[in-house]
Amino acid sequence: MSEEVKTKEPLFSAKNKKLIFNPLNKENPITVQVLGICSALAVTAKLEPAIVMSISVMAVLAFANVIISALRNTIPPRIRIIVQLVVVAALVILVDQVLKAFAYDVSKQLSVFVGLIITNCILMGRLEAFAMGNKPWPSFLDGIGNAAGYGIILIIIAFFRELLGSGTIFNYPVLEKIGLYSVGYKNNGMMILPPMALITVGIIIWVQRSRNKELIEDK
């Protein structure tokens, strides 16, 4: 993972493409590395906050990766974690402030979880494992890829939780429109609570592993 990319190569070489697409499936931060679970459970009751959260994480992770990667040869190893934390924290505060100014409703729903992006293990993991040893462009792609891997799971969970828990998609009452309530269907209130998010993550992991034999550990 951490060897330098030496030779000149095209922007989207096979290697770089892998940086983006691997985290979506084989190296998914949530379902395979099991990182960032806390926020995945907390912000996925509705689709809108889940998407805003994914975009926020993507912005923070991509830029933190680029900044750390650009500075990587100047950062003294003894304080590298502190430097990484300061960069991430500064970006998170920026994102939080921007959301408060331009997406106030969503920022209220996300509440502390934007601030808690700082403690999201995916970020520190990528900075430490990738950005510290690679050039800015691959680091940028790695950031986008991992955030997308995180986001795609968030959005899948949020889709099912919103549909089954509130009967809506993007606050549009789908189930009411197709007339399910008139035949006696009721929303499952459990889906709104965090435990069902964990179970949904579990089901996603199950489906993913049964389709992808590489992920199954040897006994």
Partner 1 sequence: MFTNRYIFTYAAIMVIVVAAILSFAATVLKPYQERNVRTEKIMDILKSVNIKTEKSNAEDIYNKYITEEFAIRPDGEVVSVYKTDTKSFEKGDVRPFEINMKIELSKQAALKSGKGTEKPVFPLYVCNHDNKTYYIIPLRGKGLWGPIWGNIALKDDFKTVYGVTFGHKGETPGLGAEIASEAFQKQFRDKTIFDDSYNFTSIKVVKGGAVTLPSDEQIHGVDAISGGTITSKGVSNMLKDCLENYVPYIKQQITN
| Binding site residues, partner 1, CB under 8 A | 45, 74-79, 82-83, 86-87, 90, 93-94, 97-98, 100-102, 104, 111, 189, 192-193
Neighbours of 201 (CB within 10 A): 21
Q: How far is the CB of 178 from partner 1 (least distance, A)?
A: 24
Instruction: Give the nearer residue to partner 1 in terms of CB position, either 32 or 117.
Output: 117
CB 162 within 8 A of CB 45: yes
Q: How far is the CB of 27 from partner 1 (least distance, A)?
A: 30
Q: Count how many Cα atoms sit within 13 Å of the Cα of residue 168 in the half-sphere of its side chain.
A: 11
Degrees, nearest 5: CA angle 137-31-167: 110
Q: Crossing angle, helix 80-102 and helix 121-129, to 10 degrees?
A: 130
**Is residue 172 classed as helix, strand or coil in its secondary structure?**
strand
Instruction: Give the nearer residue to partner 1 in terms of CB position, either 126 or 161.
Output: 161
Instruction: Give the nearer residue to partner 1 in terms of CB position, either 94 or 129.
Output: 94
| DSSP assignment letter at 218 | P
Q: How far is the CB of 192 from partner 1 (least distance, A)?
A: 6
Q: How far is the CB of 45 from partner 1 (least distance, A)?
A: 7
Sign for the pseudo-dihedral over CA of 136, 118, 25, 171: negative
Q: How far is the CB of 189 from partner 1 (least distance, A)?
A: 6
Sign for the pseudo-dihedral over CA of 45, 47, 52, 57: positive
Q: How far is CA 137 from CA 69, 74, 89, 149, 180, in A?
A: 9, 18, 22, 18, 49
Instruction: Give the nearer residue to partner 1 in terms of CB position, either 5 or 38.
Output: 38
Instruction: Give the nearer residue to partner 1 in terms of CB position, either 24 or 38.
Output: 38
